[in-house]
């Protein structure tokens, strides 16, 4: 790697204003939010901010998504914060890759730990695959995002989208590697202890998600286990 002067480093790493959108990727791993009102973001994801910005964490939120979040399983891997005001906020999550998606009336499901930020025009509903609780760390906590606006989701490395249709048949995924799927799909939880034992992986591949119908599912080349402290 070549040595750069201080001026070259500052010029190459300074923030970009290449897009008029409220959400802009400064790099594949860093999101800039041009705040004029409010957005929702993953708690603890802020790395810098400018302007008059107020943060309100889960637990003292007054309505909407806050009420849904207060009903979620405590410590299960996702807490959002409301960000209000005017300014700029820079968000990241452990160096994970960020993907921006514009929803135009569609709905998607996203693994709770992979939601980085959503615009205020996006409606959210939290769901829990309780059958998985106790099998995986914290169960499988998903968020249904729908409406009009931009959502920022994260993945370890480059995600892969697999089509789901009648011609290709069902798609089976590892829950810890599943990032998102289309709103029309409802995954079925498949347990196969003998398969996991055969691979010598304990409870890993012995629990799978089965997707059938018409749609798509996004996976990452990484099995992410969210730590859940014991209550």
Q: Considering the domain boundaries, does residue 13 fall inside one?
A: no
What pTM, to 2 d.p., does this model score? 0.83
What is the total count of domains within the chain? 1
Q: Considering the domain boundaries, does residue 36 fall inside one?
A: yes
Q: Considering the domain boundaries, does residue 184 fall inside one?
A: yes
Q: Considering the domain boundaries, does residue 78 fall inside one?
A: yes
Domain CATH for 144: 3.60.160.10
Task: Give me the domain span that covers residue 179.
Answer: 19-219
| CB burial readout 144-173, b (16+ within 10 A) else e | ebbbebbbbbbbbeebeeeebeeeeeebbb
Spatial CB neighbours of 113, under 8 Å, sequence gap ≥ 6: 77, 78, 141, 224, 226
Distance CA 46, CA 143 (A): 21
Q: Considering the domain boundaries, does residue 165 fall inside one?
A: yes
In order along its 231 residues, the chain shows pLDDT tens digits of 689 889 988 888 888 877 788 999 999 999 999 999 999 999 999 999 999 999 997 654 444 554 444 444 334 446 789 999 999 999 999 999 999 999 999 999 999 899 999 999 999 888 776 555 555 544 567 899 999 999 999 999 999 999 999 998 999 999 889 999 999 998 998 886 565 454 544 444 578 999 999 999 999 999 987 654 443
């Amino acid at each position: 790697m070549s040595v750069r002067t201080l001026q070259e480093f500052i010029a190459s790493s300074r923030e970009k204003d290449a897009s008029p959108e409220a959400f802009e990727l400064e790099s594949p791993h860093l999101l800039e939010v041009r705040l004029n009102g409010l957005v929702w973001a993953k708690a603890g994801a802020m790395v810098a901010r400018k302007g008059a910005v107020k943060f309100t964490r889960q637990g003292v939120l007054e309505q909407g998504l806050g009420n849904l979040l207060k009903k979620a399983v405590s410590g299960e891997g996702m807490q959002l914060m409301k960000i209000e005001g005017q300014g700029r906020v820079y968000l990241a999550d452990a160096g994970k890759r960020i993907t921006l998606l514009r929803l135009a009336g569609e709905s998607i499901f996203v693994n709770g730990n992979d939601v980085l930020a959503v615009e205020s025009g996006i409606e959210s509903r939290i769901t829990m695959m309780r059958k998985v609780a106790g099998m995986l760390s914290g169960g499988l906590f998903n968020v249904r995002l729908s409406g009009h606006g931009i959502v920022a989701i994260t993945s370890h490395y480059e995600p892969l989208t697999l089509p789901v249709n009648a011609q290709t048949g069902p798609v089976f995924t590892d829950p810890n590697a599943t990032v998102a799927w289309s709103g029309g799909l409802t995954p079925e939880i498949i347990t196969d202890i003998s398969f996991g034992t055969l691979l010598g992986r304990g409870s890993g591949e012995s629990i799978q998600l089965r997707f059938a119908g018409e749609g798509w599912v996004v996976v990452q080349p990484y099995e992410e286990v969210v730590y859940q402290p014991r209550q």
